[in-house]
Structure 1
Amino acid sequence: MLVALGAVALTVAAFVHVSPAAGPGFTSWPWLAVLALGPVVAAFLVRGKPGLAAGVVVGLAALAPGRLVLDLQFAVNGPLTIRPELYLPDRFVGGSAVGGGFWLLVAGDVLTAVAGVLAWRAVRARDDEPERRRWRLLVPLLAVTASVGLLTAPVLSDNGFLLARSAFEGPWPALGGYLLLAVALPFAAVLALAAPSEHVARGALGGLAAAAFGVAAPPVVAGLVRDDLHVTWGPVLVLVAMAAVAGLAGTRLTETSEEDAENLAGEAKLPGLFWWRLTTGLLGLATALAAVIGTLAPQVAVTALNPAAATPVSAAAESPARWFLLTAAIVVAVLSFGVLTPKTAPGARALLGLAWAGIVLAGTAVLNTALTATQAGNLAGFGGADLNGASGATPAFTYDLGAGAAWTFAALVLAVLAALAAVGTGVVEREDAVDGSRADGGVLTPVVAGAVLAVAAFGLPVFSVPGYVAPGLWSDFDTPSWGLLTAAAVVAGAAVLALRSRPKPAAALLAGAALLALLHAAELPLVGGSLGGASPATGFWVALAAAVALLAAAAMSAAGARRTA
C-alpha cells in the first residue's frame, strides 16, 4: 500500500508544479504516470506470488534515496536543475521557491523507500536458503554500465535557460543524487541475485530496471519532444543496459543442480571462460584504440573570429600529457592481446585488471588541459571577448573541446568496462582453479611497504617545473586528481587481494601494481618533458621505490608458486 501511495504522489507531482517560477517544459505527465504507476500495477497483478511482488517493491525502492537527494536540488537552487520534464524556465530566474509538487516528490520517494525496507524485511525473514544464480557476473556488469550513463549530461541544450552538464559539473545535490544512484544500481543488482528465492530475485531485478527507467527515460523524451533539447548517449545507455537486465529477469535465474552441472561441466566451463576472456580482450583493445585517437586528435579547437576577415581562422591545441596517454594505451593494447592468447591469458588478464587505471591516470590529465582551456579561454581577458571595444579591430577567440577530448572520455568509459570484464574473468578463473593455496606470508612486509609507498607517490608530484603547480591528492585537487585517486585505490586493493590469493595470481597482481607505479614515474619524461625544464620531484623517487618493493614481492610470490608446484 505504501508503494502505491508513493507512486500516486510522484504522478500528481507532474500536475502540481514543483516551483511557482517554472513549469514542465513539455506535456510530461502521461510519461511520468506510466513510469510511476506501471511497476506498481505490475506488482499488484502478481500479488498471488508474494515473493515476486515484494521483489518488485524492493527493486523500486533501491533508487529512492538517490532520487530524493536529486530532488533536493529544487529546494537548493531550482534554476540549476536539469529536469525539463518538471522544471524549465522561459525567462531568467535567479532563484525559485518550491511548490506543492516538490513536497509530493519528497513524499513519493520517502514512501517508496519505506515500502522497500518493509518488503525486504519480509522476504529476508523467510527460511529459504539463497540459491546460486545465473547471470551473477553479467547483471552487475550491466548495472555498472548503466551507472556510467547516469553520470553524463542528461540532455544537450540549445536553451539559454537550461545549462546542461554532467553530474560532476553540477551543484552538490545533483552530484550527490547521481552518485547515490550510480552506486545503488550495481549494489542492488548484487543483492537481488542474493535474494532467498527465485521469485524475489526476478522481481527485484525487474523493479530495479523500472526504477532506472524512471530516471533515464524523461530526459530522452525531452530530447525527442523539444527542438531546443537533444538526446545524449548517457540516458540511452542506461535504458539499453537496464532493458537487458529486465530481459534477464524474465529468464530462470537459479542454476542447475550439482549433478546436472557435473554432467555439463566439460561443455560449460571452457566456453564460458573463453567468452569472458574474449570480451575482456576486445574491451581492452577498444580502450587502447580510443586512447590512441584521443592522443592524436586535437584536445582543444580554437577559432579566431576576426570581423575583418572573410572566414574564421581555426587552429588546434594539444595536451602536454598526450604522450603519457599514448604510453598507457600501448600497455593496455599489449596486455589485451595477451588476454586473447590462451597461454598468456591468466597473467595478462590479471595485469589488465590493474593497467586500465593507467588510462584513467593519463586520460584525466589530458582532459584537464581541454577543460581548463575551454573554461578559462572563453572568459574576458583570455581572448574570449573584445576588450578594447574597437569595431572589428581585435579578433575574438572561442575555445571548444576537440575530438581528442571526446575520444579520451570514451577511453575512460571503456577502461572501466574492461576492468569490470577482467574482474568477471578472474572470478570464472578462480572457480575453475583447483589450487586452494594462499600467497606466502613472507611477502607481507614488501607488499605493505610497496602499497604505502605507492599511495604516497600518487599523492606527490613526480616532477617540478618553475611556475607549474601539479594537481595532487592532498592539495590542489583537480581533474587529474581523480586519476591519481583511482590509481592509488587500485594499487591498495591489489595489495590486499594479493595477500589472500594463490601465489601465481598474487604475483600478477603485485606486478600490475608495480606497473602502475612505474607509469606514474614515467610522467617525468612523458609530461614534464613537454613542459620543458622539468626536474625530478619527491613523487618520482617514491614511485620508483614502490615499484621496486612491489616487484620484489611479486618475485617472492612467484618463487613460492614454483616451490609448491
Structure 2
Amino acid sequence: MWLATKRPGLGGGLVLGLAALAPGRLVLDLQFAVNGPLTIRPELYLPDRFLGSSAVGAGFWLLVAGHLLTGAAGVAAWRALRSHDEPERRRWRLLVPLLAVVAGAGLLTAPVHSGNGFLLARAAFEGPWPALGGYLLLAAALPLAAALALAAPAEPVARGALAGLAAAAFAVAAPPVLAGLFRDDLDVAWGPVLALVATAGIAGLAGTRLTEAVAEGTENLAGAAKLPSLFWWRLTTGLLGLATAVAAVIGALAPQVAVTALNPGAVTPVSAAADSPARWFLLVAAVVLAVPAAGVLVTKTAALARPVLGVVWAGIVLAGTAVLNTALTATQAGNLAGFGGTAAPVFTYDLGAGAAWTFAALVLAALAALAAAGTGVVEREDAGEGATRGNVLAPAVAGAILAVAAFGLPVFAVPGYVAAGLWSRFDTPSWGLLTAAAVVVGAAALATRSRPKPAAALLAGAALLTALHAAELPLVGGSLGGASPATGFWVALAATAALLVAAGLAVSRQGRRAP
C-alpha cells in the first residue's frame, strides 16, 4: 500500500509478480478440499492418524479468498500499468528465465523427506491431481512471468514484478524447508532448497539496473555486437540439447524401479530392478534431439538446426513421461508388508536411477526449449524483416489439426491394455501428449509468420515429433506383445505427411523468391 502511493510503478509491479503465482497456489490448496491427508503441507496440515478424507475448516476458505483477492489485485494493477510503449532492451534476458525454470523444477520434487508414517512425502508427479496441477501451474508460470516482467516498458514495473515473483515463490518453497529443520520426523529435501536459491538470485537481480545502457556513438556497432551474442545463445542452446539427450539415454538404459524382497526370517534382502517398456521410445527421442543439438553448435547448420531443436525437445517430454509412469505406478503400491499373512514376503518399491535421470532430462528439455526460443529472438533481430514468407497456411493448419487428433488417440492396441490419452484415462503420459500437441500447434502457427527456411525447419521438426509418436507402435507396443495399429497411428502418419508437404512448400517459396 505504501509503494502504491509513493512509487506506483514499483508497487504495481510487485502486485503483478505476486498475482502471477496465485492461480497455481489456488489449485494447489484445493487439494485440502479433495483429500486433505494426501496434501504434503506440514506447515498447514500434519495428520497424526490414518484418514481417508477430511473436512475443511475456516482456514481453507481464508486461503482461497487470499488467492482470489491477490489475483484480482493483479488484474487491477495490470489495468493501471498497461502501456503501448516499446520495452527497452533488458539485461539478464537469459539468466532470469533460467533461474525461474530451476525454481520451478525444484518445486516439482518432494518438498520434504518424511519419517512420519502418516505423511507420505512424494514428488509432484507421484501426488494427487489437484496438487500436481498446482505445482505444474507454478512451474510454468515462473519462467513465463519472469519473461513478461522483463518485457515491461517501465523499469520500475519490471523490477517490482521480479521482486513480487520471487516473494511468491519464496512463500511456496520456504515452509517445507522450515518444517524439515524444526521437526524431528521430517528432513529437508533438496528441491525446495534449490528453489530458494534460484528465487534469491531472481530477487537479487531485481535490485539491479535492468535496462541496458547504450553509450553514445555505438549505434553503428550494434550489428557487430549481435554476432558474439548470437554465438553464446547458440552455444547454450546446443549444450543444453546435448545434455538433455545424454540424461535421456541414461534414463532409458538405467532401471526405473528398485524392488527389494525380504522373506520372514531371512538375513539378506533380495534386490531386483525393473525397466520401463517405453525405454526404447525414450532412447530414440534422445537420438532425435541430439542430432539438431549438435547441428546448433556448427555455424553452417545452426540457423536450420535451432528451429528443429525448438520443436523436438517435446519428444523427450512425450517419451519421458511414458517412462516415468512405470516408476510412479510401482512406487504408489508402497510397502506391501502385512498383505497375505505373516508368512508373506515384504516387498518395497523405490525409484531407480533411471527415474532420476529421466526427470533430469525433462528439466533440461525445458531449459533447452527456453534457450532455443531466446536464440530465435536474437536470430530474428539479426535477419531483419526483408525476407519473403511462404504461403503454407493450408497444409500447416491441416497438419496441426491432425497432430492434435493423433496425440489424443491411441497409437496401438493390446488386449487388456488401455493407454493413457488426452480425453480418457488422463495419466502421467497424458502430460507428455498434451505438451507435444501444444508444441506442434505452436510451431505450425509460428511457421505461417516466419521466413521460408526457418518455417521449413519448424515444420520439419513438427513432422519429426508426430513421426516419433507413430513410432510408439514398434518401440512400445512391440515390448508389450500382440500390438496392432490403432487409429492414432494412421492419423499420426497423415499429420507427418501434411507437415512435410508444408515444409516442402516453404522451401519451394524460398527458391522462387525474387532477388
Aligned partner letter, 2:367? L
Which residue of structure 2 aligns with residue 147 of structure 1?
104
Q: Distance in 2 between matches of 1:533 and 1:83?
A: 44
1:227 alignment partner, SS class:
coil
1:360 corresponds in structure 2 to 317
1:457-496 CA distance string (max 9 Å, x none): 2223323333333322333332222222221221111111
Contact 2:125/2:328 (8 A) holds in 1 = no
Q: CA–CA distance in 2 between the matches of 1:415 and 1:233?
A: 20
Matches of 1:444 and 1:71, distance apart in 2: 43
Which of 474, 483, 502 is residue 553 of structure 1 equivalent to?
502
| Aligned partner letter, 1:303 | T
The structural deviation recorded for 1:249 is: 1.6
Given candidates 445, 449, 457, the residue that maps to 2:394 is 445
1:204 alignment counterpart = 161
Give runs of aligned pairs for residues 499-514 of structure 1, distance below 5 A: 499-514=448-463
Deviation at 1:313, TM superposition (A): 1.0
Deviation digits for residues 107-134 of structure 1, max 9, x if unmatched? 655555555555444444x897643433
Distance 1:282 1:121 in 2: 40
Per the alignment, residue 182 of structure 2 pairs with 225
2:386 maps to which of 418, 436, 440: 436
Task: Name the residue aligned to 2:9.
Answer: 51
Do the aligned partners of residues 119 and 459 (structure 1) sit closer, same or farther apart at CA in structure 2, a change above 3 Å counting?
closer
For the residues of structure 2 that align with 1:103 and 1:462, how far apart are their CA atoms? 44
CA contact (8 A) 1:471 1:480 kept: yes
TM-score by length of 1: 0.82
The question of 1:321 aligning with 2:278 is answered: yes
Q: Does 1:405 align with 2:326?
A: no
The equivalent of 1:5 in structure 2 is none
Give the aligned residue type for 1:398.
T
Q: 2:238 aligns with which of 281, 293, 296?
A: 281
Larger radius of gyration: 1
- CA distance in 1 between counterparts of 2:126 and 2:469 reads 26
Deviates more, 1:81-90 or 1:363-372: 81-90
Assess if the C-alpha contact under 8 Å between 1:438 and 1:500 holds in 2.
Answer: no
Tell me the residue number matched to 1:265: 222
Q: Look up the SS of the partner of 1:344 in the other structure.
A: helix
Corresponding residue for residue 411 of structure 2: 462
Give the drift of 1:329.
0.9
Q: 1:179 to 1:528 in 2, by over 3 A?
A: closer
Deviation at 1:193, TM superposition (A): 2.6
Q: Structure 1: how far apart are the matches of 2:253 and 2:23?
A: 42
- Once the 2 structures are TM-superposed, how far is the Cα of residue 58 of structure 1 from its aligned partner? 3.5
CA change 1:260–1:469 in 2 (3 A) is farther
Deviation at 1:217, TM superposition (A): 1.3
Q: Aligned pair in 2 of structure 1 residues 235, 559: CA closer, same or farther (>3 Å)?
A: same
Distance 1:182 1:446 in 2: 34
User: Which residue does 1:426 correspond to in 2?
Assistant: 376
CA contact (8 A) 2:223 2:382 kept: no
* Alpha-carbon distance between aligned partners in 1 of 2:407 and 2:56, rounded to the nearest angstrom: 44
Q: Distance in 2 between matches of 1:77 and 1:531?
A: 34
| Counterpart Cα distance in 2 of 1:133 and 1:122 | 22
What CA distance in whole angstroms lies between the structure 1 residues aligned with 2:234 and 2:86? 32
Structure 2: how far apart are the matches of 1:402 and 1:115? 45
CA distance 1:191–1:257, change in 2 (3 Å): same
Query: What displacement does 1:395 show?
Result: 2.8
1:142 Cα deviation after fit: 3.0
Deviations 1:159-181 (A, max 9, x none): 12222223444445544543443
Answering whether residue 492 of structure 2 is matched by residue 543 of structure 1, we say yes
Distance in 2 (alpha carbons) for counterparts of 1:113 and 1:472: 32
Displacement after TM superposition at 1:271 (Å): 1.7
Aligned to 2:264: 307
Taking structure 2 as the reference length, what is the TM-score of the superposition?
A: 0.90
- State the distance in 2 between where 1:517 and 1:82 align: 37
Which residue identity does 1:156 align to in structure 2? H
Partner AA of 1:561 in structure 2: Q
Distance 2:418 2:135 in 1: 31
Which residue of structure 2 aligns with residue 533 of structure 1? 482
Structure 1: state its 5+ residue gaps: 2-39
Residues 436, 502 of structure 1: 8 Å contact kept: no
Which of these residues, 39, 43, 46, is aligned with residue 88 of structure 1?
46
Instruction: Give the CA deviation at 1:433.
Output: 0.7
CA distance in 2, matches of 1:286, 1:521: 25
Distance 1:176 1:299 in 2: 24
Preserved contact between residue 439 and residue 498 of structure 1 (Cα < 8 Å): no
Which of 227, 235, 238 is the equivalent residue of 2:192? 235
Query: Which residue identity lines up with residue 424 of structure 1 in the other structure?
Result: G
Q: Is the CA contact (8 Å cut-off) linking 2:39 and 2:131 kept in structure 1?
A: yes
CA contact (8 A) 1:291 1:325 kept: yes
Deviation per residue, 1:299-318 (Å, 9 max, x gap):
11122211243311111111
CA distance in 1, matches of 2:86, 2:466: 44
Q: RMSD across aligned C-alpha pairs, in angstroms?
A: 2.9
Alignment of 1:156-175 (within 5 A): 156-171=113-128, 173-175=130-132
Matched residues, number = 514
Deviation at 1:361, TM superposition (A): 1.4
Match of 2:421 among 472, 483, 496: 472
Unaligned regions of 5+ residues in structure 2, if any? Answer: none
> What fraction of aligned residue pairs are identical, expressed as a percent?
79
- C-alpha distance in 2 between matches for 1:447 and 1:104: 48
Q: In structure 2, do the counterparts of structure 1 residues 96 and 287 end up closer, same or farther at CA, with 3 Å as the change threshold?
A: same
Q: Secondary structure at the match of 1:218?
A: helix
Distance in 1 (alpha carbons) for counterparts of 2:231 and 2:439: 25
Question: After the TM superposition, which of the residue ranges 137-146 and 218-227 deviates more from structure 2?
Answer: 137-146
Q: What is the letter of the counterpart of residue 436 of structure 1?
A: G
Matches of 1:468 and 1:172, distance apart in 2: 22
Question: Residue 126 of structure 2 contacts residue 332 of structure 2 at CA under 8 Å; is this kept in 1?
Answer: no
Q: Higher mean Cα deviation, 151-160 or 328-337?
A: 151-160
1:477-536 Cα shifts (integer Å, max 9, x gaps)? 322222222212211111111111110000001110111122122222222222233333
Call closer, same or farther: CA 1:184–1:331 in 2, change over 3 Å: closer
Cα distance change of structure 1 residues 489 and 386 upon mapping to structure 2, 3 Å threshold = same
Cα distance in 2 between the residues matched to 1:98 and 1:538: 44
Question: Comparing 288-297 with 538-547, which one deviates more in the overlay?
Answer: 538-547
Residue of structure 2 equivalent to 1:20: none
Deviation digits for residues 399-429 of structure 1 (CA, Å, limit 9, x no counterpart): 2221111111111111111111111111111
1:135 aligns with 2:92: yes
User: CA 1:346–1:534 in 2, change beyond 3 Å: closer, same or farther?
Assistant: same
* Alpha-carbon distance in structure 1 between the residues aligned to 2:376 and 2:218: 20
How far did 1:353 drift?
Answer: 0.9
8 Å Cα contact 1:123-1:196 kept in structure 2: no
More off after superposition, 358-367 vs 177-186: 177-186
